[in-house]
Amino acid sequence: MTTTALATSKRALRHDVRARLHALSPEELRRAGELAAVPLVAWLNDHAPPGPVALFAARPSEIDTRALDAGVRASGRVRLLPAIEGERLVFRALPPDVDAHALPLDPFGIPTPPPSAHQVPLVAAVLVVVPACAVDLLGRRLGWGKGYYDRALAPRCAEARARGTVALVHDVQVVDEVPVGPGDALVERLCTATRGLRALP
């Protein structure tokens, strides 16, 4: 696929998925986040080694991550949250008493830790929960178009798949095939409200 064709295909898929997300009610967004958090937190408590967990604070159209944030807080693990600095993402540790969704919003409307929060290399996280526009069952992930996560995950990649990653999305964001290019990072796991947490081939 040519670069132009790839960009066109990604743009069309983003348009389609945005329409699906906009059709969901706030209650559906919240409930899906609660259901998806249960198996993910259980897996962290039962199987993940000690260490910090990188999360994201959802925008209004994304799956609600409040329940996941609360579950990780209750587990006693350090939570890392991303902040945009120029063309890159940096991850900062949140104090245990701070609700991720109560943080100030950045220009994209995303709750973001302040520069005073301690920065932690993403490679230190035992799990990275990533947002996505769309994901397929081979782990191919489509972001929202800026490439922040693909660049941030690059040090964790082996043959394009980023180790210790899970895409947390709505079921309507799981598609038959995601178009990917050379710089796109694949994820190891998928988590949705109805599919639960599953490893991807």
Give, as one character, the DSSP assignment of residue 116. T
3-state SS class at 119: strand
> In degrees rounded to 5, what are phi and psi of residue 157?
-85, 140
Rounded Cα distance, 152 and 25, in Å: 31
**pLDDT band at residue 114 under the 50/70/90 scheme:** very high
Mean pLDDT over all residues of the chain? Answer: 95
> In terms of CATH, what superfamily is 3-199?
NagB/RpiA/CoA transferase-like (3.40.50.10420)
Regarding predicted confidence, which is higher, 60 or 74?
A: 74
**Residues 6+ positions from 188 with CB-CB distance below 8 Å:** 139, 161, 162, 163, 164, 165, 166, 199, 200
With vertex at residue 64, the alpha carbon angle to CA 29 and CA 60, rounded to the nearest 5 degrees, is 75
The pLDDT value given to residue 68: 98
With vertex at residue 188, the alpha carbon angle to CA 176 and CA 12, rounded to the nearest 5 degrees, is 35
* Averaged pLDDT, 97-103: 94
Rounded Cα distance, 11 and 2, in Å: 14
How long is the chain?
Answer: 201
The two three-digit tokens of residue 98, written as one number: 């701070």
Among left, alpha and beta (phi > 0; psi -120 to 50; other), residue 2 is beta
Quickly count: other Cβ atoms within 10 Å of residue 181's Cβ.
11
Taking 90 as the threshold, does the pLDDT of residue 160 lie above it?
A: no
Rounded Cα distance, 85 and 75, in Å: 29
In tens, the pLDDT along 29-67 reads 999 999 999 999 999 999 999 999 999 999 888 999 999
Taking 90 as the threshold, does the pLDDT of residue 159 lie above it?
A: no
In tens, the pLDDT along 6-23 reads 999 999 999 999 999 999
